[in-house]
Amino acid sequence: MIDSMNGMMTMLRERGKIVAPPYDQALLWAVLLLLSFGLVMVYSASIALAEADKSFGHQSTYFLVRHTIFLIIGLLAGLVTFQFPTRFWQKMAPLLFLVGLALLVLVLIPHIGREVNGSRRWIPLIFFTLQPSELMKLFAAMYVADYTVRKAAFLHSFTRGFLPMLAVMLLVAGLLLREPDFGAFAVIAAVSISILWLGGINGRIFAGLLVMLVTGLVFLIWSSPYRLQRITGFMDPWADPYGKGYQLSHALIAFGRGELFGVGLGGSVEKLLYLPEAHTDFLLAVIAEELGFLGVLAVVLAFVWLVMRAFSIAKEAALYERNFSALLAQGIGVWLGMQSFINMGVNMGLLPTKGLTLPLLSFGGSGIVANCIALAILLRIDYENRRLAKGLPA
């Protein structure tokens, strides 16, 4: 598909003017560059762990090979996803949401869901493990966007517009917190609330929702000893650098060693079994150590541009009164922006530790596939905008 699109762009000229590309080339290349950069950094961050752990066969390329496979699957899934118009995804949104709920229930069942470090978030399959919460981020964005469009006339009403959505999202929150996966809950809550707000929900209902959300978050933190320990550890990791502050203290050391230009690609010391989850949750710390402030700045700016582009595509869709497409594009933008912001904040010691990967970069099959599908949908929305701008059917 990409080859055929590039073929269409090989200097097609009409009356001396270059024909506008049928898809967003800048967005596609930005995504491909981030995925490629992530592959390099995952390999760099995981070599020591793969060689040291016998469960990985002492193979230095263990994570490189698996991440490459996930990238191929994700790109193929994105390619297939791009073929379907957004009206198809709007029609499928309720069904996909139910599939996501079923997966969240399955992962909690003993002998089906796999428990790692006290969390039950993964379903082992034949060749890989599925993390339902990653897919649920996309399914929730689709469902809330579809619900907001269908219930647009009732969004001012608490009982007819907001209450049904609240009940559904509380169900999702309950399932995620049973795993527990507080990070995924925070992202899905942010995406859902943003779509409802952008879709025109009553201001007083929205304000009440925010108050309720903040109250709920405070209660969850104070009622859970391990979450409270994460908060206290995050506020002063050096008070217990070998205990609850261990991971953050080593992440901060990595940032400090990197300085402006970094110690060089492959030169990280913290990835040598000092920094836990260096290839997943704390990949940015390895980037900071090896590529320095400039490397981190480039990653931050790339995600800022992605989010801005998503909202720009959403604005264009709204001009053609394609409300579902506009809300879904905004939801994808909020998802990528919120998750990357939380991950970066955790790595830099600005936020408490959360089990969230850096989108498009960190190791993780379910996350990579979900990101690729979401961005393929975003590309499809832009593709349809461009067709409408030319007077063609979407």
pLDDT for the residue numbered 232: 67
Q: Are 45 and 268 in contact (CB under 8 A)?
A: yes
Mean pLDDT of the chain: 89
DSSP tag of 14:
E
Quick one: which of 357, 371, 373, 354 has its CA closest to 41? 357
Q: Are 179 and 134 in contact (CB under 8 A)?
A: no
pLDDT for the residue numbered 6: 53
Quick one: which of 36, 45, 55 has its CA closest to 281? 45
Q: Are strands 114-116 and 13-14 parallel, antiparallel or unpaired?
A: unpaired
When pLDDT is averaged across residues 212-234 and rounded to a whole number, the result is 72
When pLDDT is averaged across residues 83-88 and rounded to a whole number, the result is 96
pLDDT at 354 over 90: no
The H-or-E segment that residue 304 falls in is: helix 283-319
20: pLDDT confidence band, cut at 50, 70 and 90? low
pLDDT at 105 over 50: yes
- pTM equals 0.90
pLDDT for the residue numbered 208: 79
pLDDT at 121 over 50: yes
When pLDDT is averaged across residues 219-223 and rounded to a whole number, the result is 73
When pLDDT is averaged across residues 305-319 and rounded to a whole number, the result is 97
1: pLDDT confidence band, cut at 50, 70 and 90? very low
Q: Which of 138-142, 188-192, 194-198, 240-244 has the lowest mean pLDDT?
A: 240-244
Strand-by-strand arrangement of the 119-124 sheet: 114-116, 119-124, 129-130
